[in-house]
């Protein structure tokens, strides 16, 4: 209550001269999907016809980014419009992690609600749940999405290589039998608890690093759990469940504007497609789950067509970080990929601040409103809160969405409309490495002095790098040649600008 009251005071709804339109908004966020992973972005080993259609009917961005090269920080920034490195505890969330988004932060869901939207999140959460103690798995799990602006949530609580494998609907685990309580923890609960180490030969998917604790559905995971057996799902059924719930929710909320955040689990590990997609591409399960993701997009589009909503709905398709081949399970992603290059022409991938870590597929479609085409404007998932505020005629309070820019004109492909001029790319957590793109210049700051830039080529490997490097993305999109020595002045300027952007606590300018 208190929070809503403060929020009502903080948001000034301005009446614009032009009439405000309120399209439904569906943000589809893929997991670990790289720039080169779709046929509309150059993949040739398999086809993604539904996402390709979305791109053909809308705008396909060549400089569309997520803000971080891991999941939790990108999602945090997408919801709050502020860079995750500004807030402690926003690195990859553990199974019992508390909610990373403070309940008093203004979120994109709040912005939608203020504009009269119904709001939902369906799919992977991975932003932590509960207060200081973490989630109370057998009771009301809060604060969570419902406390930060969503009217409805149906979630995989963390990520599926972490325990537990149960759905969460609003505040509760679905189908939990109170006689078989769910326990989740970091330590082995008993000496005889089967794990990926003690029962390795029984696994249907072997692990390569980490992921060797509790076994469920023949797959060992990060973390331990017991109980909750009636509530446990099969990995194979996740995509179908997301679609069942999304379609139901859209049907039930079609009368008023709605905002749906559909957070697919594809193509995060463990990559376990439904049986009907297993072997779909011949390139292994990593590619098969891309086809499964494409099917989900097709189902959502069919639903919009069936309900006559395609012309009233802005669809934004994006990813939470770049690609990775071996992320802890032996699913032969690398061995079976053939000619496929998941990051397209870019260097690095997940965990990296080279382009491959954050430059990802980004598509907007609003049928008959967005002129189909390709856009080279620089846009980022962190800009969606400010852009939605602008689209619905709201002025953001000064102290919220600190790094979110209104790029709504660029998202809608308006002639002359510009995206951002600069973007900070981060890897994971608070004190990490940074990429800083300004125009076509790219500064890299590796405080760790090593880079996980080979994740797309082999198993995680750190290679030594200089603390600072400079690349000219116009001439060298693959970041192969460090030109810092040729541009000492520019180097100094960019280093200073980045340091300033980090220290000043915000990059969205104050209005007054
Ligand atoms: C890492 C995990 C990786 C993945 C990642 C989070 C190990 C060795 N690696 O710590 O498998 O879960 O966290 O991925 O455990 S993300 O896309 O959700 O950020
Ligand atoms: Ca991810």
**Locate tokens 């970091």: which residue?**
186
Tokens at 122, concatenated: 């369906």
Confidence check: pLDDT of 458 > 70: no
Confidence check: pLDDT of 16 > 60: no
Mean pLDDT of 400-428: 97
pLDDT score, position 437: 98
Tokens at 447, concatenated: 């405080």
Strands 258-263 and 118-124: parallel
Measured in Å, residue 412 CA sits from the centre of ligand 1 at 34
Domain boundaries, the chain: 2-411, 422-504
Mean pLDDT of 197-213: 97
Confidence check: pLDDT of 327 > 70: yes
Tokens at 503, concatenated: 């220290």
Please answer whether residues 466 and 495 qualify as being in contact, where contact means their C-beta atoms are separated by less than 8 angstroms: no
Measured in Å, residue 388 CA sits from the centre of ligand 2 at 23
- Closest CA to ligand 1's atom 6: 92
Strands (E) located in 264-324: 313-319
Query: Class assignment of domain 422-504?
Result: alpha beta
Measured in Å, residue 14 CA sits from the centre of ligand 1 at 42
Asked if domains 2-411 and 422-504 share a fold, the reply is no
Sequence-distant (≥ 6) Cβ neighbours of residue 472 within 8 angstroms? 440, 441, 442, 483
- What is the position in ligand 1's atom list of the atom closest to the CA of 209? 8
Please answer whether residues 447 and 372 qualify as being in contact, where contact means their C-beta atoms are separated by less than 8 angstroms: no
Q: What is the number of the ligand closest to the CA of 92?
A: 1
- What is the position in ligand 1's atom list of the atom closest to the CA of 124? 18
Q: Give residue 457's pLDDT band: very low, low, confident or very high (50, 70, 90).
A: low
What distance in Å separates the CA atoms of residue 484 and residue 488, rounded to the nearest whole number? 6
Residue 161 is given by DSSP the state T
- What is the position in ligand 1's atom list of the atom closest to the CA of 350? 17
Measured in Å, residue 409 CA sits from the centre of ligand 2 at 28
Burial class (CB in 10 A: 0-12, 13-18, 19+), 255: exposed
Q: Which of 186, 210, 324 to mutate to test the pocket of ligand 1 (most atoms within 8 A of CB)?
A: 210
What distance in Å separates the CA atoms of residue 483 and residue 22, rounded to the nearest whole number? 46
- Closest CA to ligand 1's atom 18: 71
Measured in Å, residue 129 CA sits from the centre of ligand 2 at 18
- Closest CA to ligand 1's atom 7: 210
- 30 sits in which H/E element: strand 24-30
Q: Give residue 5's pLDDT band: very low, low, confident or very high (50, 70, 90).
A: very low
Length of the chain: 512
CATH of domain 2-411: 3.40.720.10
Measured in Å, residue 327 CA sits from the centre of ligand 1 at 7
Measured in Å, residue 266 CA sits from the centre of ligand 2 at 9
User: Which of 490, 494, 510 is closest to 502 using CA atoms?
Assistant: 494
Confidence check: pLDDT of 7 > 90: no
- What is the position in ligand 1's atom list of the atom closest to the CA of 222? 15
Sign of CA dihedral 461, 463, 467, 468: negative
Confidence check: pLDDT of 332 > 50: yes
Q: Which of 29, 69, 161 to mutate to test the pocket of ligand 1 (most atoms within 8 A of CB)?
A: 161
pLDDT score, position 464: 85
Answer yes or no: pTM beyond 0.85.
yes
- Closest CA to ligand 1's atom 13: 92
Strands (E) located in 80-175: 118-124, 152-156, 168-169, 172-173
Taking all residues of the chain, what is their mean pLDDT, rounded to a whole number?
94
Residues with CB under 6 A from ligand 1: 31-32, 70-71, 92, 126, 159, 161, 209-211, 222, 268-269, 321, 327-328
Helices (H), 375-487: 384-391, 408-411
Confidence check: pLDDT of 2 > 50: no
- What is the position in ligand 1's atom list of the atom closest to the CA of 320? 17
pLDDT in tens, 126-175: 999 999 999 999 999 999 999 999 999 999 999 999 999 999 999 999 99
Please answer whether residues 90 and 403 qualify as being in contact, where contact means their C-beta atoms are separated by less than 8 angstroms: no
């Amino acid at each position: 209550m208190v929070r809503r009251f403060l929020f009502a005071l903080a948001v000034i709804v301005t009446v614009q001269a032009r009439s405000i339109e309120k399209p439904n908004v569906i943000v589809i966020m893929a997991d670990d999907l790289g720039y080169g992973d779709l046929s509309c972005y150059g993949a040739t080993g398999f086809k993604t016809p539904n996402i390709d259609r979305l791109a053909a009917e809308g705008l396909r961005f060549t400089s569309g980014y997520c803000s971080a090269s891991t999941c939790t920080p990108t999602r945090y920034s997408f919801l709050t419009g502020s860079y995750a490195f500004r807030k402690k505890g926003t690195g990859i969330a553990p199974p019992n992690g508390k909610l990373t988004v403070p309940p008093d932060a203004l979120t994109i869901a709040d912005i939608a609600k203020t504009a009269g939207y119904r709001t939902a999140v369906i799919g992977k959460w991975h932003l932590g749940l509960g207060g200081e103690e973490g989630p109370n798995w057998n009771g009301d799990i809060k604060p969570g999405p419902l406390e930060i602006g969503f009217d409805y949530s149906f979630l995989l609580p963390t990520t599926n290589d972490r325990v537990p494998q149960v759905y969460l609907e609003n505040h509760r685990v679905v189908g939990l039998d109170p006689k078989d309580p769910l326990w989740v923890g970091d330590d082995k609960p008993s000496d005889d608890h089967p794990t990926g180490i003690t029962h390795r030969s029984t696994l249907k998917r072997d692990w390569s690093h980490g992921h060797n604790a509790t076994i469920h559905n023949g797959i060992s995971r990060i973390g331990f759990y017991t109980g909750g057996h009636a509530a446990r799902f099969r990995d194979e059924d996740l995509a179908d469940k997301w679609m069942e719930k999304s379609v139901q929710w859209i049907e039930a909320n079609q009368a008023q504007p709605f905002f749906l955040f559909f957070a697919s689990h594809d193509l995060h590990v463990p990559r376990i497609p439904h049986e009907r997609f297993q072997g779909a591409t011949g390139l292994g399960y990593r590619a098969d789950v891309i086809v499964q993701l494409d099917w989900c997009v097709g189902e959502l589009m069919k639903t919009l067509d069936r309900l006559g909503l395609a012309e009233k709905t802005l669809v934004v398709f994006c990813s939470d970080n770049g690609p990775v081949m071996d992320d802890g399970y032996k699913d032969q992603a690398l061995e079976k990929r053939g000619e496929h290059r998941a990051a397209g022409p870019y260097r690095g991938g997940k965990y990296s601040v080279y382009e491959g870590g954050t430059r990802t597929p980004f598509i907007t479609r609003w049928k008959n409103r967005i002129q189909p085409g390709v856009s080279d404007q620089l846009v980022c998932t962190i800009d969606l809160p400010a852009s939605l505020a602008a689209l619905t005629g709201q002025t953001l309070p000064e102290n919220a969405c600190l790094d979110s820019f209104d790029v709504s004109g660029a998202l809608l492909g308006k002639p002359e409309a510009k995206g951002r001029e600069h973007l900070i790319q981060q890897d994971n957590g608070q004190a990490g490495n940074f990429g800083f793109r300004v125009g076509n210049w790219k500064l890299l700051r590796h405080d760790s002095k090593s880079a996980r830039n080979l994740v797309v080529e082999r198993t995680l490997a750190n290679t030594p790098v200089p603390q600072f490097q400079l690349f000219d993305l116009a001439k060298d999109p693959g970041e192969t040649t460090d030109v810092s020595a040729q541009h000492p002045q520019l180097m100094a300027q960019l280093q200073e600008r980045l340091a300033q952007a980090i220290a000043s606590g915000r990059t969205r300018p104050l209005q007054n």
